[in-house]
Structures are given as structure tokens and as C-alpha cells.
Amino acid sequence: SSYEGSWAFGLPHGEGSDTLADGSPFVGQFVKGLRTGWGKLADRPSSIRYDGRFLDGCPHGEGAQLWPDGQRYEGQFVQGACEGQGRLELLDGGCQEGAFVAGMLHGEGREQ
């Protein structure tokens, strides 16, 4: 992988961009060498795009994820999974909105 941006004590820290070994580009914030804060990641192997908050290298907090088939989730993430309040736009034009656990609607919610 390669990194370009701000450094602190020999580690990426602040605004920067890196390219992972698989060619996936990331642009955003780093803390002590880890993607932490706001950022954008375009995963090359899966073609999934994520724009939002990161914590210790994983999507965590508010964000939006777009799959190559056109499905889109916007809401809360926990350690990379769609978890918390969110909205999933489905391929058939419908959507699911409410509480998500492990990427699935769970508890209070609605489907249109």
C-alpha cells in the first residue's frame, strides 16, 4: 500500500490518502496510522463504495454505502456493518427504514 498526506511520529495522522495492496483507494482522516474520522473508500474487489465516518479502519458512525447492483444504505454503521438507524434503498425502487442489526431490518421499521 502507499500513503500521501500528514504524518505524526512516523505514522499517517491528519488528512491523507492511501491505496491498499488490492488497489482500493481511501481519502480522508487518519489517527495514529488508522483510518479514523471522515473518509471515502472505494473497495476494488467488491466494487462497494463507502462515504462516512471510520473508527480504527472500519466504517463506524454515520455513513452511506453503495453496492455495485445499485442498492444504497444510509445511516449508522458499527464495525463495518449496517447497524442502528438507517434507510436501505432496494433494487425494485422500494426501501426499508428503521433499526438495522447486522445489515438487516430488525425491530421497529417500515418497508415501502
pLDDT in tens, 50-73: 999 999 999 999 999 999 999 999
Q: What is the pLDDT of residue 89?
A: 96
Query: What is the secondary structure of the chain as a DSSP string?
Result: -EEEEEEETTEEEEEEEEE-TTS-EEEEEEETTEEEEEEEEE-TTT--EEEEEEETTEEEEEEEEE-TTS-EEEEEEETTEEEEEEEEE-TTS-EEEEEEETTEEEEEEEE-
Q: Residue 43 — pLDDT band, cuts 50, 70, 90?
A: very high
| pLDDT at 112 (0 to 100) | 86
Q: What's the pTM?
A: 0.92
Per-residue pLDDT tens digits for 13-23:
999 999 999 99
Mean pLDDT of the chain: 95
